[in-house]
């Protein structure tokens, strides 16, 4: 059972998840191309546009080390072959972006699970989350961003983990408002993640996590210089 959907992919690599609940988990990262959200601090701006003239082959993208707007199209079958070709051994796949939920990810999740992978997705919550029931959903809500998209209630309801970027008090207030949408029987893990490791943001995140019994998420991969 495989799908013929062709996903637009900016890069694929194997590393260790550096943030949130899955910190430390060896993972294959699949970065999908395209994101209309427009966060000013975004560190993957090269994934925003899907330019048809920048479509290339998987071989070229995999050979390239630097961040690039180039992308390639692959079905799930082709992606699984790519994992094999590169000798990846991680058993968790992280679908990220860009905004991966611009795509219907159900065929991708189903196929990966069928091959023994666990799957997680990182989303801004501004698109419907179309994933398998077992997929771990990390919602990093992006509120009032330039693209004018709103965080959806159904995204908050589906989240296993809500990891909120924080730099100032108003971000904490925004999060508290969103949490009103969490269903009574759901218990998503709540993380604050200081934006760009700024000291003020980190101090605020630490203080707030202690006061509210939330968790602190640090981008540990940046401390040790891995992708």
Q: List residues near ligand SF4 by CB under 6 A.
A: 35, 37-39, 42, 44, 47, 97-99, 124, 142
CB 39 → ligand SF4: shortest distance, Å?
3
131: left (phi over 0), alpha (psi -120 to 50) or beta: beta
- Considering the complex, state which of residue 19 and residue 99 has its C-beta at the smaller distance from ligand SF4: 99
CB 17 → ligand SF4: shortest distance, Å?
16
CB 142 → ligand SF4: shortest distance, Å?
5
- Considering the complex, state which of residue 100 and residue 107 has its C-beta at the smaller distance from ligand SF4: 100
CB 160 → ligand SF4: shortest distance, Å?
18
* CA-closest candidate to residue 54, choices 9, 89, 19: 9
- Considering the complex, state which of residue 21 and residue 80 has its C-beta at the smaller distance from ligand SF4: 21
Q: With residue 211 as reference, give the H or E element that holds it.
A: helix 199-212
CB 210 → ligand SF4: shortest distance, Å?
26
CB 222 → ligand SF4: shortest distance, Å?
14
Specify the pairing of strand 189-194 against strand 161-166.
parallel
- Considering the complex, state which of residue 20 and residue 110 has its C-beta at the smaller distance from ligand SF4: 20
Cα Rg for the chain, rounded, in angstroms?
17
d(CA 189, CA 20): 9
Assigned token pair, 97: 């972006």
- Considering the complex, state which of residue 48 and residue 83 has its C-beta at the smaller distance from ligand SF4: 48
DSSP letter at 91 equals: S
- Considering the complex, state which of residue 44 and residue 160 has its C-beta at the smaller distance from ligand SF4: 44
* CA-closest candidate to residue 121, choices 142, 98, 141, 139: 139
Specify the pairing of strand 118-123 against strand 136-139.
parallel
The answer to whether the beta carbons of residues 166 and 193 sit under 8 Å apart is: yes
């Amino acid at each position: 059972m495989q799908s013929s959907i062709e996903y637009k992919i900016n890069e694929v690599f194997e590393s260790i998840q550096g943030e949130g609940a899955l910190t430390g988990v060896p993972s294959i990262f699949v970065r999908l191309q395209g994101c209309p959200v427009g966060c000013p601090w975004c560190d993957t701006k090269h994934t925003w546009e899907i330019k048809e003239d920048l479509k290339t082959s998987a071989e070229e993208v995999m050979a390239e080390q630097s961040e690039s707007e180039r992308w390639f199209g692959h079905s799930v079958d082709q992606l699984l072959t790519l994992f094999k070709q590169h000798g990846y051994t991680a058993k968790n796949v992280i679908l990220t972006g860009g905004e991966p939920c611009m795509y219907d990810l159900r065929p991708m999740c189903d196929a990966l699970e069928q091959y023994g992978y666990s799957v997680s997705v990182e989303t801004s919550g501004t698109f419907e989350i179309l994933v398998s029931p077992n997929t771990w959903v990390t919602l990093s809500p992006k509120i009032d961003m330039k693209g004018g998209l709103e965080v959806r209630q159904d995204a908050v309801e589906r989240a296993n983990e809500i990891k909120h970027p924080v730099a100032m008090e108003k971000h904490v207030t925004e999060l508290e408002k969103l949490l009103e949408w969490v269903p009574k029987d759901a218990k998503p893990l709540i993380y604050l993640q200081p934006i760009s490791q700024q000291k003020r943001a980190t101090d605020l995140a630490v203080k707030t996590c202690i006061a509210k019994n939330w968790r602190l998420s640090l981008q540990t991969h940046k401390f040790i210089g891995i992708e």
